[in-house]
Structure 1
Amino acid sequence: MDFSFNKQINRKNTRAVKWDLVKTLYGAEDVLPMWVADMDFQTPPAVTQALTERAKHGIFGYTFTDNALQDTITNWLSYKHDWDVKSSSIVYSPGVIVTLHMAMQTFTEVGDKVLIQTPVYPPFYDIIKKHDRELVKNQLVLDGDKYKIDFKDFENQLKQGVKAFILCNPHNPIGRVWTETELAEIVALCKQYNVLILSDEIHADLVFAPNKHIPIAKLDPSMTDNIITCMSPTKTFNLAGLQVSYAIVNDKQKREALEKTFHKQGLHILNTMGITALEAAYLEGKDWLVKLMEQLEENMNYVINQFANRKDVNVFKAEGTYLLWFDFRALNLSQEQLKIFLEKEAKVGLNDGASFGEEGTGFMRMNIACPLELVKDGTNRIISALDRRDSNK
């Protein structure tokens, strides 16, 4: 089937966070939103068809998950990541962040130290702080054009009594896909210091060749019971509003404890349409995903090439996700000045780098999961604003 990713879909007046909150967030209607991490592409036709057929039924009562759904998930993980997962290890959830909140309640206590690698997805901070845990940072190190893990600092932090570590792989916002060597060292250190790994792998399917996503729970059988992996089809197939995800929890005691916490919060039933979409996406979305990755790579290469010869901005080539990390530090602007420049002068709405932690000061994040013409528009707006700025000096 020929999938087109060039059609511009009008998302306004659909209560779309990205498009219908533009004036609220940026103070003007003419700002191009390239921030929140959903796509401006329609989901695979097979998903739309499945949802349409389910809607035609007309009854949306309580829905349960069954063996067929479990098999769909395990088959997908085997196909995409060469990962053999037991069906019994699956715990369903409305979302990855929900699961991380539930895991924080279940496996840590007030005052426990929880480690994250910064700059990182803003909700990670909330997950720790809102449960009154102690936030511990392992700052990622920028080595040339690539971020790396400071393993000496990582171990030093673990030595201080860290109870849990939240991994982001692929990493949001920097776009790193951690290698097997890097992941193996993480596992070895967490094993040595008895640290629970909570792995957010929601972008696992969105990886550019030759990079390869490796579920961290695959690496050491002796650590599998101390790793909880959170995954979902929502980023992959643009289903975020349907709120469906799952966690892989191999250890029976941990699985039952986590499920008990979900039940305490009344979060034990999935969205009917979410179930339908997950099943259709994993069963019939493979070819669509191949074409999506081709389009995302074309979009990324366009942006990087346009900024390639500039000294005032550096764009990091993403190994995974559809998010690009921009380094604007050479402009010598404060973070507030940088935001104003992009919003008022370039008329582009990006994610504030400082929202990912103080290590993101001077940086911004761009979402390129949209038709190439929109990517070109946003890119050219920024370049034109930079050129005007230079001419006014």
Structure 2
Amino acid sequence: MNLFEQVHERKKTRSVKWGRMESVYGIEDASDILPMWVADMDFPAPPPVTAALRERLEHPIFGYSYICEECKTAASDWFNKRHGLTLETDWMLFHQGVIPAMASIIDVFTEIGDSVLVTPPVYPPFFSIPKNLGREVLYSELIEQGGDYSIDWADFEAKLQQSRLFILCNPHNPGGKLWTAEELQHIIELCARHEVLILSDEIHSDLIHTGETHLPLLSLAGNERNRVFTCIAPTKTFNLAGIQAAMIVTPDPDKRRRLEQHMQAHGTGSLNAFAPVAWKAAYEHGEPWLNELLEVLTHHIEYAVSRLEREVPGLKIRKPQSTYLLWIDYRSLGLTEDEAMKRLLEQGKVALEPGSKYGEAGHGFLRMNIACPTKTLEEGVNRIVRAFT
């Protein structure tokens, strides 16, 4: 059977996606609810990765591990080939994930009471992490038009003047937008003008659909490259979130030194024994799997958008340029978010994410994960249609 069509039972595997819906959605029993919410895939990891992990398991000692030079070179070669980005291996620091990496950057390069700027609707840790670290969060809401998003430049610059750090989602989650060269260059120019650092989360950078191009912020930064921190990981690309491995890329040796000191102080500088194995195998041998995945996602997006817009009049979905997430606009249905979620969970028996999770600008939207076998996707669409008709 095709690797992407086989349905794998994930219940009783300690899967957050499949096993934590009761607590996430505040319901007593989620046993009959189909999860299409959190962003991990219901596809197996690339066979070369599982083979490498299986080989590692043959050695029965799981002691302290490190990222080898071959791991760094594999990542550097990958980003050069896929995105035309030159990454010096000296620029790389490794962390347990993009979220803890973001927390380290915020902790080191801002102070309690400093302001961090975000552009909602956006991935919730962009505002929750700074808040939990005692920073003030400033919101410059994106302008939405027909499901597409753009920056409100006047508001953005006004708030930059009060900020120490800007967090960019590149590509954008939840909207699936790819920022243009002009937009990214203007972000760099404004941040330089107001002496603001930039943290660019590029975890979705490999999930780019046919005809589209991801532009790493660092590739456009030029003389301002020392202002940029880029957070990258193979975990979203290859469905390895539970392996927990990511890297921070910063060309500035002083900033790397300060981050290394912070990691040493907090004991966050090492990875688990399986992370380097999966990392190297994914970047060296995962490309054929990824290319096939992108074909599957293209089909899934076309299928889900076509059926949902046709069978639920009023739903509007702009096809994402990246990610495996749909950002569904249900504002024309005249439902509150509570009403929409109640219908989905009780009538449709399907779990999507409420847009308000991504900030006030997300009200009226739902986020749907379509990275699953066709059989699962068809069932999910059936359930959403049932909920709204």
TM-score normalised by L of structure 1: 0.95
1:231-289 Cα deviation digits (max 9, x unpaired): 00000000000100101011000011011111111111111101100100000001100
Partner of 1:18: 17
Partner of 1:368: 370
SS at match of 1:235: coil
Give me the whole-angstrom Cα distance separating, in 2, the residues matched to 1:175 and 1:198: 18
Partner of 2:234: 233
Give me the whole-angstrom Cα distance separating, in 1, the residues matched to 2:22 and 2:123: 24
Give me the whole-angstrom Cα distance separating, in 2, the residues matched to 1:223 and 1:43: 37
SS at match of 1:237: coil
Give me the whole-angstrom Cα distance separating, in 1, the residues matched to 2:239 and 2:146: 33
Give me the whole-angstrom Cα distance separating, in 2, the residues matched to 1:126 and 1:213: 26
On the 8 A contact 2:66/2:276 being kept in 1, the answer is no
SS at match of 2:138: strand
How many residue pairs end up in the alignment? 385
Partner of 2:256: 255
Give the drift of 1:314: 1.1
Give the drift of 1:384: 2.3
Give the drift of 1:23: 4.1
Partner of 1:337: 339
**Structure 1 segments (4+ residues) deviating >4 Å:** none
Partner of 2:321: 319
Partner of 1:382: 384
Give me the whole-angstrom Cα distance separating, in 1, the residues matched to 2:142 and 2:212: 19
1:111-139 Cα deviation digits (max 9, x unpaired): 11110010111111111101111111111
Partner of 2:179: 178
SS at match of 1:139: coil
Partner of 1:50: 52
Give the letter for the 1:13 counterpart.
K
Give me the whole-angstrom Cα distance separating, in 2, the residues matched to 1:65 and 1:175: 31
What does 1:277-292 align with in structure 2 at a 5 Å threshold? 277-292=278-293
What does 1:162-241 align with in structure 2 at a 5 Å threshold? 162-241=163-242
Structure 2 residue ranges without an equivalent (≥5): none
Give me the whole-angstrom Cα distance separating, in 2, the residues matched to 1:187 and 1:360: 26
SS at match of 2:99: helix
On the 8 A contact 1:3/1:291 being kept in 2, the answer is no
1:341-365 Cα deviation digits (max 9, x unpaired): 1111111101111111111112110
Choose 342-351 or 138-147, whichever is displaced more: 138-147
Q: CA RMSD in A?
A: 1.3
Give me the whole-angstrom Cα distance separating, in 1, the residues matched to 2:121 and 2:342: 21
Give me the whole-angstrom Cα distance separating, in 2, the residues matched to 1:45 and 1:286: 11
Quote the sequence identity (%): 41
SS at match of 1:238: coil
Give the letter for the 1:145 counterpart.
G
Which of 72, 75, 80 is the equivalent residue of 1:73? 75
Give me the whole-angstrom Cα distance separating, in 2, the residues matched to 1:360 and 1:144: 14
